[in-house]
Amino acid sequence: MKFIIFTFFLMLSLSAFSQLGNTMYGLARTPNPAAVYVATMNPTTGIATNVSPTSVSSSINLTGAALNPYSNQFCFIGDTGLKSIDLTTGQITNTATVINPNGTGYFDLFRFNTSDSLMYGLSRRNITNPQTGVVTGSMYLATIDANTGTINEISPNSIGQGFSYSGSAIDPHQMVFYYSNGAQLVGLDMYTGGIFSNPTLSFPNGGQYFDNFTYNCSDTSLYGLVRTNYYSQVYDPQTMITSQVFDSANVHLGKVNAMTGAVTKISTQPIGVMAFSLNGSSTIDPLNMIYYFISGSGSGIAIYGVSLQTGLLVSQQPISNTGALYFDMIRIQNDCYESQPTRFASSAAVEDQILKTTNVRVYPNPFVDQITISSEIQMQKIELFQANGSLISVNEISGKEFNLETNHLLKGIYFLQVTNSKGKETVKIIK
């Protein structure tokens, strides 16, 4: 049954991909004068076209970006705070100062989660021991409100002290946020903020590092770049010291088993790059099954496309944009569009309450702006829950039919709990 349900949601996601354009967006930057523009990218030609008529920032923070396909907004941290950019006009719709109610800190590796329409990332701050005065780093899974800039820490306790710049990813089906601390791939439970998995990365068929990883909704896998560095021995006759100097690197497309940490190369031959842009410079086209990443800097910057199935290079284009020397934070609009969670919060245990609803009928399901609940027995109360078990609304009623307005709800999975004289019945509904 779980396989059937999961297959249904996968087919639903694939159908949704085709309903939204697969336009690639990113941030085009110029160093002199310092300016940032939201731009579209044609990966087959390398042409970046500015959407922003004027600069939206003088700088960017490379630790995160989020594309909200439902509100058509692109969010990043710039010179004056968390900026929201309208993808139609390219203009700033909101700028918010990032605020953590628990203390001064940072918000890193953030991404948009399409299954609950929230932005998740890592909240970092320092904690001082009042007895010893020792300062230690702390880190928590958190969400951020794009309108107010307010951080909401989910993790009850610190889950680490730092991260590597190898990327981040969200699995909207399992509701897991992934990041790497260098040696391990850490998965955080997006319901509780606790550790979901933290296997040590291993490379059974070669490799040293797993970088620029991102989640692919069309086959529910984590893809990234497998890198092996090579060094030369250089002797300095003046100091009589022999040191290692970076010489070259082999880079392959690969995928990782998020539970075991085993990284597998998909490319049989190196892609042909020695270096690449980290942290936010990769995305996946789920329709065509292509992994894109940025390599180089300045006049040598290029966008590469690699087949997820063969690991072969399918496109390689120098990036051209009037005045821009960098292109960062690439995101594809339909990536994981309208995904639905298949794992629910264990603490809520709502899914375990689903009964055969012989008395209650709910329609339409899936719904849009309104649903009708009818029952053979007079109903007393109707409660609406999120997928994680949070209560949204309660309606005390007396009757056999009730219309519930739902136009304010985001797309996702919900539960209706109907109370009548015979007890409670729970129905899963989808918007």
- What number of other Cβ atoms are within 10 A of residue 352's Cβ? 10
Q: How confident is the model at residue 321 (pLDDT cuts 50, 70, 90)?
A: confident
- Cβ(295)–Cβ(6) under 8 Å? no
Quote the pLDDT of residue 19.
Answer: 53
Do residue 53 and residue 111 come from a single domain? yes
Q: What's the pLDDT tens digit per position in 108-129?
A: 999 999 988 899 999 999 877 7
- Cβ(167)–Cβ(214) under 8 Å? yes
Do residue 112 and residue 7 come from a single domain? yes
Given a cut of 70, is residue 5 above it in pLDDT?
Answer: no
C-alpha dist (Å) from residue 142 to 18, 127, 163, 322, 345 = 31, 17, 15, 37, 16
User: Using CA atoms, how far apart are residues 53 and 38, in angstroms rounded to an integer?
Assistant: 9
- 371 in a structural domain: yes
The helix/strand/coil state of 241 is strand
- 35 in a structural domain: yes
Do residue 53 and residue 23 come from a single domain? yes
Query: What is the domain-level CATH number for residue 425?
Result: 2.60.40.3080
Q: Is 31 exposed, middle or buried (0-12, 13-18, 19+ CB in 10 A)?
A: exposed
**HSE of 86, CA atoms in CB hemisphere, 13 A:** 8
Quote the pLDDT of residue 282.
Answer: 92
Q: What's the pLDDT tens digit per position in 265-276?
A: 999 999 988 888
Do residue 266 and residue 374 come from a single domain? no
Task: Give 116-132 as a DSSP string.
Answer: TTEEEEEEEEEEE-TTT
Q: What's the pLDDT tens digit per position in 336-365?
A: 888 878 777 654 444 444 444 457 888 888
Do residue 253 and residue 315 come from a single domain? yes
Quote the pLDDT of residue 353.
Answer: 43
Do residue 125 and residue 36 come from a single domain? yes
Quote the pLDDT of residue 104.
Answer: 87
- Cβ(13)–Cβ(338) under 8 Å? yes
Q: For the chain, percent helix, then strand, then coil, each to nearest 5?
A: 5, 55, 40
According to DSSP H, which parts of 171-273 are helical?
A: none
- 341 in a structural domain: no
Q: How large is the average pLDDT for residues 395-421? A: 86
Do residue 358 and residue 327 come from a single domain? no
Q: Which residues constitute the domain of residue 253?
A: 2-332
Query: What is the domain-level CATH number for residue 163?
Result: 2.120.10.30
Q: What's the pLDDT tens digit per position in 64-89?
A: 899 999 999 999 999 999 999 999 99
- 340 in a structural domain: no
Do residue 225 and residue 305 come from a single domain? yes
Indicate the residue among 303, 332, 361 that finishes a domain: 332
Q: How confident is the model at residue 132 (pLDDT cuts 50, 70, 90)?
A: confident
User: Using CA atoms, how far apart are residues 431 and 335, in angstroms rounded to an integer?
Assistant: 19
Of 352, 335, 332, 334, the closest CA to residue 343 belongs to 352
Task: Give 252-292 as a DSSP string.
Answer: EEEEE-TTT-BEEE--SS--S-S----SS-EEEETTTTEEE
- Tokens at residue 126, please? 């320092």
- 372 in a structural domain: yes
The residue that leads in pLDDT, 389 or 145, is: 145
Quote the pTM value.
Answer: 0.78
- 343 in a structural domain: no
Dihedral sign, Cα of residue 278, residue 280, residue 284, residue 290: negative
Do residue 399 and residue 280 come from a single domain? no
User: Using CA atoms, how far apart are residues 415 and 428, in angstroms rounded to an integer?
Assistant: 5
- 339 in a structural domain: no
> Please, what is the average pLDDT of the chain?
86
Do residue 192 and residue 312 come from a single domain? yes
Q: What's the pLDDT tens digit per position in 51-64?
A: 999 999 999 998 88
- What number of other Cβ atoms are within 10 A of residue 128's Cβ? 11
Of 410, 415, 413, 409, the closest CA to residue 427 belongs to 415
Amino acid at 394: V
Counted domains in the chain: 2
Do residue 271 and residue 356 come from a single domain? no
Do residue 115 and residue 157 come from a single domain? yes
- 338 in a structural domain: no
Inter-residue long-range contacts of 346-352, CB under 8 Å, 24+ positions, other chains counted: 346/191, 347/191, 347/192, 347/389, 348/191, 348/385, 348/388, 348/389, 348/390, 349/389, 350/385, 350/387, 350/389, 350/415, 350/426, 351/415, 351/428
What's the maximum distance between 2 C-alpha atoms anywhere in the chain? Answer: 93
Q: What's the pLDDT tens digit per position in 187-237?
A: 999 999 999 999 999 999 999 999 999 999 989 999 999 999 877 777 777
How many degrees, rounded to 5, is the angle at CA 167 between CA 189 and CA 16?
Answer: 70
